[in-house]
Amino acid sequence: MDLNEARAVLRLPAGPATRARLTAIAYDSRVVRPGSLFVAVPGFHVDGHRYLNTAIHAGAAAVVVRRDHALQLGSLPVPVLAVEDTRAALSALSAAFYDHPGRALRVLGVTGTDGKTTTSYLISELLEAGGFSTGLMGTVQFKVGPDWRENDTRQTTPEAPEVHQLLAEMRAAGVTHAVVESSSHGLELHKLDDCAYDAAVVTNVGSDHLELHGTTEAYLAAKGRLFALLDEAGPKPGPRYGVVNADHPRSATHMRARTRAEVRSYGIDAPADVYAADLHLDAGGATFALVTPAGARPVRLPLPGRFNVSNALAAATVAWMEGMDLEMIARALGGVYGPPGRMQRVAAGQPFTVVVDYAHTGPALEKVLETLRPLTAGKLTVLFGCAGGRSPERRAGMGSVAAALADYIVLTNEDPHEEDPAAILAAIAAALTSRGRAQGQDFAVIPDRREAIHAALARAQPGDLVLLAGKGHEQSIISGRTKTAWDEVRVTRAELAALGFSAG
């Protein structure tokens, strides 16, 4: 792409003819190299417009700025492309730079407050069982055909250049279907605008990320952008459709109104196109009849919890819409694994159960505790904290849920970021005491997470269950601007070994 092609993408008038090729699209001045097009993006902590001179000194061939900043810049030694929204420009430029890879793939987007990671994995697993080649972009890992790598960005949705680079890798690897976990941040901040979605799936929409969206209505609207993007993908072969959860009518109704595409539904309780009949839950998973317009088949799902049945129904709906045989879908559901750090059991020969899960919101923690409660013969202990820089209501919500559903609670640091860790834990503790729980008797506050895990495991008795919530798959703890390596499962195994349990 040359500079005039970039201008055309941004719908700007052509400039002087040039044969210079742009070598990269960059939004971080530290990675600019000669020939890069630098896009100045306002961030949460810093504004890219402050680093224009740094980018130019590093060799930027041109810069993209917001119009309201362009008037204040004065003369710069490189061409300046002024646009209304540099984040939207970054997406459009990235898609064009990588030659619109989403147009060569079936792009399946999954959004929701809870369940989108597991649903994304299940969609990928079902489609692979059906003979397709899949790519996956999400919170835990990235997958390009048979190759996996960790997502160490701590963001569900990378910035637009990384999104389209991954899609381009998938295209080059012969991937047929790209499953894209689509966060509200990614949708609101235009990171996913030009993916060329073929399908949009919503699991549920609660109340979260109000630090960005402000209100629950704005949060719902951000999620709804995924369905609106179905109408903006341009001409592509194959069906274009939405999938909504009939058991969450508010979000389902909202999503239906955002697109002209066909919309299918799934559910457990409400009437739906795809649903589970004769549902039976147990410690090992669930048994149900998968009912679709094409018929019904028995399923034995090896993932515990009613919410995982819902996630499986969402994935089955997508697989059915992608043309998979119902018998094959039912058989594939019997062998799914789901993502790491989601209801992951840690067994080292101890006489009690230990489960690691990513649940880091009130609704997610509630679902996990409600799932584990009937499976626990003894006491149910939960360990968790709450990340800084998130809606303060999340702390009270998680505390209230734990007070209602757990026998004992250990509060510890999660990712305080730049907030005072003690203040975060005090807010959760206040929610516990307001529900009649007493510190020292019903709960403990141990800021160091390793010490907290040891304490939770040390007090467990035969038949008890210990849930370690909040970190799941994540590989670091962030305090201030310091990132410390962390692996919850590895640490848990080490602390079990310290207690004399090291089998398995």
**Highest mean pLDDT pick, 42-56, 61-75, 90-104, 337-351:** 90-104
Judged against a pLDDT cut of 80, whether residue 223 lies above it is answered with: yes
Q: What is the pLDDT of residues 149-179, one digit of tens each?
A: 988 776 889 999 999 999 999 999 999 999 9
Sign of the alpha-carbon dihedral angle for 193, 195, 196, 202: negative
pLDDT at position 303, please?
Answer: 86
Cβ atoms < 10 Å from Cβ of 82: 18
In three-state secondary structure terms, 181 is: strand
255 and 371 share a domain? no
57 and 126 share a domain? no
Judged against a pLDDT cut of 70, whether residue 311 lies above it is answered with: yes
Judged against a pLDDT cut of 70, whether residue 371 lies above it is answered with: yes
Cβ atoms < 10 Å from Cβ of 2: 14
The two most distant CA atoms of the chain are separated, in Å, by 77
447 and 357 share a domain? yes
Residue 208: band (very low, low, confident or very high) from pLDDT cuts 50, 70, 90: low
245 and 298 share a domain? yes
Residue 343: band (very low, low, confident or very high) from pLDDT cuts 50, 70, 90: confident
201 and 285 share a domain? yes
Q: Residue 464 sits in a domain of what CATH number?
A: 3.90.190.20
Q: What is the pLDDT of residues 346-367, one digit of tens each?
A: 889 999 989 999 899 898 899 8
Lowest mean pLDDT among 153-162, 200-209, 307-316: 200-209
In three-state secondary structure terms, 82 is: strand
Q: What is the pLDDT of residues 413-442, one digit of tens each?
A: 999 998 999 999 999 999 999 999 999 999
Q: Decide if 493 is inside a domain.
A: yes
Q: Decide if 504 is inside a domain.
A: no
What is the count of structural domains for the chain? 3
113 and 177 share a domain? yes
d(Cα 36, Cα 52) in Å, to the nearest integer?
12
Residue 102 DSSP class: G
Lowest mean pLDDT among 286-290, 331-335, 341-345: 341-345
Of the candidates 401, 421, 377, the one whose C-alpha atom is nearest the C-alpha of residue 469 is 401
Burial track 214-244 (b if 16+ CB lie within 10 A, e otherwise): eeeeebbbbbbbbbbbbeebeebeeebbbbb
- The answer for residues whose C-beta is within 8 angstroms of residue 22's C-beta and 6 or more apart is 1, 2, 3, 6, 35, 36, 37, 61, 62, 97
pLDDT at position 310, please?
Answer: 96
pLDDT at position 212, please?
Answer: 58
pLDDT at position 154, please?
Answer: 66
Q: Decide if 93 is inside a domain.
A: no
116 and 219 share a domain? yes
Range of the domain at 412: 344-498
237 and 109 share a domain? yes
405 and 295 share a domain? no
Average pLDDT over residues 186-206: 94
Q: Residue 20 sits in a domain of what CATH number?
A: 3.40.1390.10
What is the DSSP annotation of 419-486? S-HHHHHHHHHHHHHHTT--BTTTEEE--SHHHHHHHHHHT--TT-EEEEES-TT--EEEETTEEEE-
171 and 278 share a domain? yes
**Tokens at 347, concatenated:** 């067994």
CA atoms within 13 A on the CB side of 178: 30
Q: What is the pLDDT of residues 257-268, one digit of tens each?
A: 999 999 999 999
Q: Decide if 136 is inside a domain.
A: yes
In three-state secondary structure terms, 15 is: coil
Q: What's the start-to-end Cα distance of the chain, in Å?
A: 54
Average pLDDT over residues 114-136: 96
- The answer for residues whose C-beta is within 8 angstroms of residue 448's C-beta and 6 or more apart is 412, 413
pLDDT at position 411, please?
Answer: 98
151 and 258 share a domain? yes
Residue 504: band (very low, low, confident or very high) from pLDDT cuts 50, 70, 90: low
Average pLDDT over residues 203-223: 74
Q: Decide if 503 is inside a domain.
A: no
Q: Decide if 339 is inside a domain.
A: no
Q: Which residue has the higher pLDDT, 73 or 268?
A: 268
d(Cα 214, Cα 144) in Å, to the nearest integer?
35
Average pLDDT over residues 1-11: 94
Average pLDDT over residues 50-65: 96
Last residue of a domain, one of 333, 362, 386: 333
Judged against a pLDDT cut of 80, whether residue 283 lies above it is answered with: no
110 and 232 share a domain? yes
Q: Which residue has the higher pLDDT, 113 or 176?
A: 176
Last residue of a domain, one of 84, 118, 133: 84
Q: Decide if 338 is inside a domain.
A: no
Judged against a pLDDT cut of 70, whether residue 300 lies above it is answered with: yes
Q: Decide if 90 is inside a domain.
A: no
Last residue of a domain, one of 38, 56, 84: 84
Tell me how long the chain is.
504
